[in-house]
């Protein structure tokens, strides 16, 4: 655990909120087979009448390939232009019609990768005991109810004061507007009184600092090359376990 000196002192140093990234931060990082993900996602494509001319439209492998390419485009927009997207946008980019009720295989593919780190609940309890708000800001295609369901399943959602998912707003991290939405969700207005915790040096560290927050880096994730941004921020602190965040924040507060 390390922190840069000279931050969090002087007028206005008091903190009001700690906001967390989700994947790779509140959940432990897992490497994912994106081809297998696309095959699972392709299960939601609406089937078409099969003829010699349109046989490819019923080819699950072809659907998966289109969805994989569409994912690169959608996440590229997030990286370069901070434009958000949803699962429906992904299918639209792939040129495929889908039925949201058929996303069960996609959900089941991801569900094992959504487990909340066991250090989250004691960390959130400690931060709230110190009078700090706890928030979540995630770049995601998934609907809010999926994320809320994961937190409720793991018994931590009662400790979240506000949560924002990029699928429900127009922007993604590192846009300052995304961070502002998270601040509004937890009821704070001054970014200098907020800390952001995340696993990505572009989206989370550079983005939070660009928005006026302090940033803590949890460097456990292997970020896909296509999601690495143009800038890497220098974090105000680095931790190697979520439980270390409380000590850093206590020092600043």
Q: Which of 111, 129, 157 is the last residue of a domain?
A: 111
Q: 59 and 93 in one domain?
A: yes
Residues 93 and 208 in one domain: no
Q: CA nearest 245: which of 210, 214, 223, 212?
A: 214
Q: Which of 58, 77, 111 is the last residue of a domain?
A: 111
pLDDT in tens, 178-213: 999 999 999 999 999 999 999 999 999 999 999 999
What's the pLDDT band for 221 if we cut at 50, 70, 90? Answer: low
Quick one: tokens of 183? 């601040």
Structural domain for 89, as ranges = 34-111
Q: Is residue 13 predicted with pLDDT exceeding 80?
A: no
Answer yes or no: do 61 and 121 share one domain. Answer: no
Tens of pLDDT, residues 22-57: 999 999 876 777 788 889 989 999 865 444 445 445
Same domain for 105 and 119, yes or no, is: no
pLDDT at 230: 76
* 64 shares its domain with 128: no
Does residue 163 carry a pLDDT above 90?
A: yes
Residues 120 and 181 both lie in one domain: yes
- Residues 122 and 163 both lie in one domain: yes
- Stated length of the chain: 253
3-state secondary structure of 122: helix
Q: Which of 89, 111, 133 is the last residue of a domain?
A: 111
How many domains does one find in the chain? 2
In this structure, the answer to whether residues 122 and 98 fall within a common structural domain is no
Interacting residues of 204 by C-beta distance below 8 A, sequence separation 6+: 21, 25, 173, 174, 196, 197, 198, 215, 217, 233
One domain for residues 155 and 210: yes
Distance, in Å, from the CA atom of 182 to the CA atom of 204, rounded to the nearest integer, reads: 13
Q: Tens digits of per-residue pLDDT, 55-86? A: 445 588 899 999 999 988 988 888 889 999 99
**Sign of the dihedral defined by the CA atoms of residues 65, 70, 73, 76, in that order:** negative
Question: Cα separation of 249 and 240, whole Å?
Answer: 15
Q: Which among 169, 168, 165 is positioned nearest to 138, based on CA atoms? A: 165
Task: Report which of 219, 241, 216, 225 is spatially closest to residue 18, judged by C-alpha positions.
Answer: 216
CATH assignment of the domain containing 212: 3.40.50.1000
CA dihedral sign, ordered 20, 6, 8, 191? negative
Residues 241 and 162 in one domain: yes
Give per-residue burial for 31-61: e unless 16+ CB within 10 Å, then b. eeebeebbbbbbbbbeeeeeeeeeeebeeee
Query: Whole-angstrom Cα distance, residue 160 to residue 216?
Result: 19
pLDDT at residue 226, as a whole number: 63
- Both 148 and 246 in a single domain? yes
Tell me the DSSP string of 49-78: ---TTTGGGG-HHHHHHHHHHHHHHHHHHH
Average pLDDT score, the chain: 88
Q: Let me know whether 119 and 98 are in one domain.
A: no
């Amino acid at each position: 655990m390390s922190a840069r000196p000279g931050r969090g002192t002087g007028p206005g140093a008091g903190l009001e909120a700690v906001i967390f990234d989700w994947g790779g931060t509140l959940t432990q990082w897992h490497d994912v087979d994106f081809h297998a993900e696309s095959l699972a996602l392709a299960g939601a494509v609406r089937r078409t009448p099969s003829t010699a001319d349109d046989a490819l439209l019923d080819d699950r492998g072809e659907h998966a390939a289109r969805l994989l390419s569409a994912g690169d485009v959608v996440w590229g927009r997030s990286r370069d232009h901070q434009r958000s997207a949803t699962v429906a946008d992904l299918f639209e980019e792939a040129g495929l019609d889908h039925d949201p009720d058929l996303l069960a295989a996609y959900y089941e593919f991801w569900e094992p990768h959504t487990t909340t780190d066991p250090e989250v609940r004691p960390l959130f309890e400690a931060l709230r005991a110190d009078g700090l708000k706890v928030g979540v800001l995630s770049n995601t295609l998934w609907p809010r109810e999926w994320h809320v369901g994961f937190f409720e399943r793991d018994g931590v959602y009662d400790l979240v004061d506000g949560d924002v998912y990029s699928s429900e707003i127009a922007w993604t991290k590192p846009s300052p507007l995304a961070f502002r939405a998270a601040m509004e969700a937890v009821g704070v207005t001054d970014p200098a009184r907020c800390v952001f915790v995340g696993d990505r040096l572009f989206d989370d560290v550079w983005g939070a600092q660009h928005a006026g927050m302090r940033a803590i880096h949890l460097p456990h994730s292997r970020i896909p090359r296509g999601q690495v941004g143009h800038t890497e921020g220098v974090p105000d602190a680095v931790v190697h376990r979520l439980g270390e965040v409380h000590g850093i924040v206590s020092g600043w507060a």
